[in-house]
Amino acid sequence: MTIMSSASHRAREPRTRAPAMAWAADAARVQPAANVPDVERVAAVHASDSARIMRHVSADPNIQADAISGWTQQYDQLSTGPFSGSLTEWQSNGFHFFSETTSQALRQACRVRSGAIWFGIPDRRLTSFDGKDRHLPAPGTMVPVEEGAEDLGGICAKIRARSIDVDMVACQQGDRDFELVTPSRFRIFGIVITESAWREVMHEMHDCPDVPGGIRDDLVRFELTALDALREVMYRVLCAEHSFGVAERLSPFQAAHFQDEVLRLLASGLRQAGDVAPIPAMPKPHRRWIVDTARQYVLDNRERPIGIPELCTALRASRRTLQYCFQDIYGMSPQRYLRATRLNGVRRALLSEAVKVSSTLPLGAFSKGDEAGLSRSSVMSERRTVQEIAAEWGFWHHSQFTADYRQLFGMTPSETQRRGGV
């Protein structure tokens, strides 16, 4: 197994990670990027390109967002506590399969690469990050929130504010912006297929000409037993402990069998989707407009704190309407959500400053004499302080800002800056 450091995170709006880094022809040829201490990438490089599995482990949602090959993403953490996430992915001939786990609730701004189709399948196992998984029950069954866990609008993920129940598959065509809201202790399986490969799959596996090769909706309801079979195949290959064991490498035959089995189950489920109960209607567009406009208003005026009365005036909405819309979509009050949005902005800025220092300092600047020490002092003096960055995001009272930041992320702002740099 080869261990490689992750590419440096640049705290900008959603960007696409270059697939060439994650899928180089040979792991030994991938050059290490800037040192980011809280990220580890483990590559299980198999003898055949079609059997190569990559695994990424991250302690920061921003780096996690950059990990999936070919996606444009930005993650905002919504629940409180330290973040941990992992990604296991495999690509072969127009197909991309992955399993992503995240410990905290997130708002994910996503876009799949152009010319592709994505299918997202939440696992029925709630990820506990202690090595133990427990299954979600059938649809309609109430599940108590675990002690010490936050209830952010339920256990189901959402796409464009629509709940993804355990018998549903989320789907999206490439080059389209969409939003996912995911709960804590969450795992999702992803299948990304190029449109040309998908047309071939539909042609080979279906004798019904009316089955669309494209995607008409964000959600498709499957028969639960069939969807669980698909989950089990994905889990067995991408999540089981033997996935990275030398003795358990996928042979070319095993890789081809896995791909065929996943696509067969997916295509079969889509074919039978019309016989299953219909998907609930989209939430009222006005609710989505309220939360999107409120978020953008806060981002456009990030240098000062925005109160609820000002938001109500700007949106021409009552306080009660604002509360209801945010509670319905994000499972929290507008005050809490918008404060989390600004705190996530600060976190990205702190990481950006840390990366700037790391990439500017000469090699060995911390261990070579006075000249290197002067270089370090010069670069460090140009770095913006925590207080300056906080003020840029409307946090003027440093002690309260530090307390809010630590509550959300489980660390102080200075710790973020220190861990994200050299």
In a domain, 207, yes or no: yes
C-alpha to C-alpha distance for 371 and 189, rounded to whole angstroms: 50
Residue 276 is predicted with a pLDDT of 62
- Domain edge (last residue) among 273, 305, 331: 273
Residues 269 and 124 in one domain: yes
C-alpha to C-alpha distance for 207 and 384, rounded to whole angstroms: 62
Residues 114 and 240 in one domain: yes
Residues 232 and 303 in one domain: no
In a domain, 187, yes or no: yes
Residues 96 and 195 in one domain: yes
In a domain, 374, yes or no: no
Burial of 378 (0-12, 13-18, 19+ CB in 10 A): exposed
Residues 160 and 266 in one domain: yes
C-alpha to C-alpha distance for 307 and 342, rounded to whole angstroms: 13
Q: Which domain holds residue 334?
A: 285-356+384-420
Residues 253 and 291 in one domain: no
Instruction: Mention every residue, 6+ apart, whose C-beta is less than 8 A from residue 384.
Output: 349, 353
Residues 289 and 230 in one domain: no
Q: Which pair of tokens denotes residue 50?
A: 């079609």
C-alpha to C-alpha distance for 4 and 6, rounded to whole angstroms: 6
In a domain, 135, yes or no: no
- Domain edge (last residue) among 209, 242, 273: 273
According to DSSP, the residues that pair with 119 across neighbouring strands are 171, 191
Minimal CA–CA distance to 157: which of 188, 125, 178, 112? 188
- Domain edge (last residue) among 273, 298, 315: 273
Residues 104 and 247 in one domain: yes
Residue 249 is predicted with a pLDDT of 56
Q: Which CATH number covers residue 70?
A: 2.60.120.10
Domain total for the chain? 2
Q: Which CATH number covers residue 401?
A: 1.10.10.60
Residues 334 and 396 in one domain: yes
According to DSSP, the residues that pair with 56 across neighbouring strands are 41, 87
Residues 269 and 314 in one domain: no
In a domain, 311, yes or no: yes
Encode the chain (422 residues) as per-residue pLDDT tens digits: 333 333 334 344 444 433 332 222 222 222 333 333 333 333 333 334 445 788 889 999 999 999 998 999 999 999 999 999 999 998 887 899 999 999 999 999 999 999 999 999 999 876 554 445 555 444 444 344 344 444 444 447 899 988 898 889 999 999 999 999 999 999 999 999 998 888 887 777 655 444 444 466 789 889 889 999 999 999 988 987 544 443 345 678 888 899 999 999 998 888 777 666 667 666 678 899 999 999 999 999 999 999 999 999 999 999 999 999 999 999 999 999 999 999 999 999 999 887 765 554 454 444 445 554 545 454 455 678 999 999 999 999 999 999 999 999 999 999 998 887 43
In a domain, 136, yes or no: no
C-alpha to C-alpha distance for 106 and 180, rounded to whole angstroms: 8
In a domain, 205, yes or no: yes
Residues 308 and 251 in one domain: no
In a domain, 27, yes or no: no
Residues 245 and 307 in one domain: no
